[in-house]
Amino acid sequence: MKRRGPRIMLIVLLAAALLTALILTTLPGTTRTRVGDFFGSIFDPVVATFRKAFTSIGDFFTTYSDNRTLRAELETLERENAELRFEIEKNAHDAEVYTAFKEALNLRTLYDGVEVQGTAVLNGEIGPFFDLMRVNVGRAQGLQVSDQTSYPVVTSHYELVGRVHSSELTSSKVIPLINEAFFVSACVEGSTRAPFRVRGDVKYREQGLCVGDQIPKGTPIREGDRIITSGEGGLFPGGIVIGEVVSVESSPGGDDVRCLIQPVVDFSHLRYVFILKRVDIQSAPTEP
């Protein structure tokens, strides 16, 4: 209790001094001026310091608020930019589809009684994981595939892709011409000689090549020749481009000749293909 006495006394004295100073500063004359100057020299730096501190705090919160506004505007711009990129990509995709299907209209003029069904390729490139292609049309679009019925598959430039292997309700599988289960009757473009067989081979599939064999003796065939479908066999119309001969092999007597063919189709970049459907039921090709 004894310790609290001096403290109370000190507080009272300070309060009295402040009260006196306040009274004196309200009176006219030099005394008010001196006292005001004295206390002003003490309190002004303190007030200036507090004012500066409050200004800094206000600036901080203003900057923080501005930054939040800028971040919100940036997020809005990024979202609008993403939407714009999507629209650009969509428009480019639509233009690509339009171009492909516009070119495919030429297919309708090549043969009478042929319906052209455009379709998109669903799976990745042909390789170790995908030996068949999947497309997005099936039985719902009229593809009825069986052991006796199939359909040619070509590009919009009338290049051979393969044939439909099987169909489901809304999708189908396509055997590409480099698959070992595929074969077609073919000939050298411009030749009047008997046709020969072009088939896929498991040995050359990874190289993207197919084989031409059962070539009649005396058939002139050399590197660089363009190979097309012959039209025989009942499934593939004639004149569909298959590819180009890259090498020719023959037995010592020349009785057995075969060639390797580089397909004109790039299977790694196929996005749209076209199925040729005749009005009458088509039969699967028989081996020539």
Q: Which of 267, 35, 39, 53 lies closest to 153, judged by CA?
A: 267
Residue 285 lies in a domain: no
Shared domain check, 12 and 68: yes
- In degrees and rounded to multiples of 5, residue 205 shows phi and psi of -60, -40
Shared domain check, 169 and 54: no
Shared domain check, 122 and 81: no
Tokens, residue 244: 């180009």
Residue 180 lies in a domain: yes
Shared domain check, 63 and 45: yes
Shared domain check, 156 and 20: no
pTM of the model: 0.61
Shared domain check, 187 and 172: yes
In which domain, by residue range, is 102 found?
1-109
Q: Tell me what pLDDT residue 267 has.
A: 86
Shared domain check, 242 and 175: yes
pLDDT, one tens digit for every residue, the chain (288 residues) = 455 566 677 776 766 666 665 565 555 554 445 555 555 555 556 556 656 655 666 665 566 566 777 777 777 777 777 766 766 665 555 555 545 555 555 555 565 667 888 888 887 555 555 578 899 999 998 888 888 889 999 998 889 999 999 999 999 999 999 999 999 999 999 887 789 999 999 999 889 999 999 998 888 899 999 999 998 888 898 899 999 999 999 877 767 899 999 999 998 888 889 898 874 434 444 444
Q: Give me the number of domains the chain comprises.
A: 2
Shared domain check, 122 and 2: no
Shared domain check, 189 and 262: yes
Give me the CATH number covering residue 159: 2.40.10.350
Q: Which of 268, 286, 271 lies closest to 121, judged by CA?
A: 271
Shared domain check, 140 and 27: no
Contact 200, 177 (CB under 8 A): yes
Separation CA 108–CA 260 (nearest Å): 31
Q: Tell me what pLDDT residue 26 has.
A: 54
Q: Tell me what pLDDT residue 22 has.
A: 55
- In degrees and rounded to multiples of 5, residue 98 shows phi and psi of -60, -45
Q: Tell me what pLDDT residue 125 has.
A: 55
Q: How far is CA 41 from the centre of its chain?
A: 74
Q: Is 255 helix (H, G, I), strand (E, B) or coil?
A: coil
Q: Tell me what pLDDT residue 58 has.
A: 61
Residue 284 lies in a domain: no
Contact 186, 194 (CB under 8 A): no
Domain boundary among 60, 77, 109: 109
Buried b (16+ CB within 10 A) or exposed e, 51-90: eeeeeeeeeeeeeeeeeeeeeeeeeeeeeeeeeeeeeeee
Helix (H) or strand (E) holding 162: strand 160-167
Q: Tell me what pLDDT residue 234 has.
A: 80
Buried b (16+ CB within 10 A) or exposed e, 212-237: bebbeeeeebeeebebbbbbbbebbb
Shared domain check, 128 and 8: no
Q: Tell me what pLDDT residue 262 has.
A: 97
